[in-house]
Amino acid sequence: MRLLIFGLGYSAARIAARLAPHGWRIAATTRDGRDGSIAFSDRERVGFELAEATHILSSVPPADNSDPVLETYGDAIARSGAWIGYLSSTGVYGDAGGAWVSEDAPTGTGRRVARAQADTDWLALPNAHVFRLPGIYGPGRSVLDRIREGKATRIDAGDQVFSRIHVDDLVEGVVAGIDGPPGAYNLSDDLPAPQADVIAYGCRMLGVPVPDLVPLDDAAISPAARAFYSENRRVANGKAKRLLGWRPAYPDYRFGLRALNASTSPAMTSTAPAPVSGDQR
């Protein structure tokens, strides 16, 4: 098995680390070709890896209102005959007023127009698997880290909730998708919840005071964060459970945060990219 990853970021590096010990040859691109990866702009090298790949995965988000991977290599990917995967976002559903959204829900009505278009374009490719992801948390990237840094703000956003997923569950969902039918899959936990509740739980776990709620209108947050609170939805994960046989090991944030707080294993806490074979043909 030969996997080519476009964009060796937080989640994709963990997918590579999960597969590499099982005989997979992993090649990956980054913007600058760091740590043995391939520079995205190296068309000759990327072309070689595309021709050899049995599986192709992109974690690269849209830039300047277009998908750089499809714009540069889309034709070759479509012709490859490989398994195709794309890490998308549940933001493609826009605001659902707190309702549950499945993969059949309309997309493209929210603030992430470019992401929704990329989602549609990847889904149109042969043998494509599009994984729609909510907020991703895990080692080195959770409310526990923000609480420890004194940067956690509890926003009073009314009845707004959102879904999330532990990065390990994301990885297992993608791995399950390797043998699953093409299509779109929501990978999320089972308990959408207000972010303020998650922060409060984390504070109690760490034994620090729970910050008071701050009205959304008074919160000193970025425009991007404010836009996040403008959407309200619950993400249904039943399709991935039915068709991929996937189940989240951390079905809600309480399981995930407890595991993160208790873990002292370097294998779980390291955020270093997995070794890749992008420098070997």
Residue 79 CB burial class (10 angstroms; 0-12, 13-18, ≥19)? exposed
Q: Are 67 and 60 in contact (CB under 8 A)?
A: yes
Q: Are 234 and 99 in contact (CB under 8 A)?
A: yes
Domains defined along the chain, listed by start: 2-269 (3.40.50.720)
The H helix count followed by the E strand count for the chain is 11, 13
Residue 278's pLDDT is 32
Residue 263's pLDDT is 86
How many CB atoms lie under 10 A from the CB of residue 76? 15
Place of tokens 């070794």: 275
Place of tokens 């990853």: 5
Interatomic CA distance for residues 96 and 121, integer angstroms: 23
DSSP code of residue 32: S
Residue 274's pLDDT is 37
Per-residue DSSP letters for 210-237?
A: PPPPEEGGG----HHHHHHTT---EE--
Interatomic CA distance for residues 207 and 38, integer angstroms: 44
- pTM value? 0.92
Closest CA to 169 of 235, 225, 117: 235
Q: What angle do CA 203, 206, 212 make, to 5 degrees?
A: 20
Query: Starting from the edge strand earliest in sequence, which strands make up the sheet with 183-186, in order?
Result: 38-39, 25-30, 2-6, 55-58, 83-89, 128-133, 183-186
Interatomic CA distance for residues 158 and 231, integer angstroms: 12
In sequence order, which residues have a C-beta less than 8 Å from that of residue 164 and are 6 or more positions away? 134, 135, 136, 137, 188, 189, 198, 253, 256
**Which tokens go with 209?**
């005071």
Interatomic CA distance for residues 225 and 206, integer angstroms: 25
Interatomic CA distance for residues 177 and 184, integer angstroms: 10
Interatomic CA distance for residues 150 and 102, integer angstroms: 36
Residue 169's pLDDT is 98
Q: What is the pLDDT along the chain (281 residues), one digit of tens a residue?
A: 999 999 999 999 999 999 999 999 999 999 999 888 999 999 999 999 999 999 999 999 999 889 999 999 999 999 999 999 999 999 999 999 999 999 999 999 888 899 999 999 999 999 999 999 999 999 999 999 999 999 999 999 999 999 999 999 999 999 999 999 999 999 999 999 999 999 999 999 999 999 999 999 999 888 888 888 999 999 999 999 999 999 999 999 999 999 999 984 333 333 333 333 332 22
Q: Are 236 and 189 in contact (CB under 8 A)?
A: no
Beta bridge partner(s), residue 133: 89
